[in-house]
Amino acid sequence: MKVAVIQMVSGADVAANLQQASALLQSAAQAGAELLVLPEYFCLMGQQDADKLAIGEPEGQGPLQQFLAQTAQRLGVWLVGGTIPLQSATDVARVCNTSLVFSPQGLRMARYDKIHLFRFDNGLERYDESVVLAPGSVPVSFDLPSKDGHTWRVGLSVCYDLRFPELYRAYATAGAHLLLVPSAFTYTTGQDHWEVLLRARAIENLAFVAAAAQGGLHDNQRRTWGHAMLVDPWGKVLAQREDGAGVVLAELDFATLEACRSRLPALQHRVV
């Protein structure tokens, strides 16, 4: 199955971000990608975190969800919409950072709300997503019947989730073959932790990992790490892009996954 992870440098103009995303997705589809993954906050990297509240949509309706559904249908692809802000059913003051999955028919197949909310303070940079985001609580996976004849089980996660291996082990236990990590990693943390965490999640769960990313200097002067990449179950980086907007493509071979799990059946050896 050919997979494309999209790298963007989203800004404060939602319409411009959607136009950029549309062009990149078109390019990925033309290259033969069957599953396309946008980065976290693909629709908006605002001047401040609270900007997300202004574009928060009710579940099932709104221009962002319409864009994703129509794009998936128009291109005939499986599309994972990075994240968009959806109104919380329980907290009117915050929104959920939500990853939605659409089928080639434009039907919504899964919703995952980011569980772990990022907080970081090194004296120079300060982030606290919990101010505007309501956390999710439930791991979500979906089954993708691929043109390659296999049904891939795909586990959903977002950015900071990457630091919590128990989430991905739950997916592996549930039979996941592919783990998605749309992200907007900071430059500071990304340069030290991004690749090693992605490869670790792949290795310990003997699964492919696909990580879309924000990568560059944004309107708000925040700099994201980029390095969108695809990793195989042995921890090999199949393809990546350092920074700037673009498409990262790789063919994920189900036989490779089966071979890795056969020669090193670590998932069967778990005790705890």
Q: How far is CA 227 from CA 12, 44, 54, 73, 222, in A?
A: 22, 19, 29, 28, 16
Answer yes or no: 43 catalytic: no
Q: Amino acid letter at 150?
A: H
Which member of 34, 52, 96, 114 is catalytic? 114
Residue 266 CA to residue 241 CA, distance in Å, equals: 30
Torsion angles phi and psi, residue 235, rounded to 5:
90, 5
Judged by DSSP in three states, 163 sits in helix
Which member of 43, 96, 159, 260 is catalytic? 159
Q: Any idea which residue has 């396309």 for tokens?
A: 36
* Alpha helical stretches, state H, 206-270: 254-263
Torsion angles phi and psi, residue 229, rounded to 5:
-155, 165
Contacts of 215 (CB under 8 A, 6+ apart): 7, 8, 9, 224, 225, 226, 227, 228, 241, 242, 243, 244, 245
Q: Any idea which residue has 């879309």 for tokens?
A: 212
Contact 8, 218 (CB under 8 A): no
Answer yes or no: 59 catalytic: no
Burial class, 6, CB count within 10 angstroms (exposed 0-12 / middle 13-18 / buried 19+): buried
Contact 156, 112 (CB under 8 A): yes
Answer yes or no: 40 catalytic: yes
- DSSP-derived secondary structure letter, 218: -
Which member of 40, 43, 96, 129 is catalytic? 40
Contact 216, 9 (CB under 8 A): yes
Residue 230 CA to residue 228 CA, distance in Å, equals: 7
Q: Catalytic positions, please?
A: 40, 114, 159
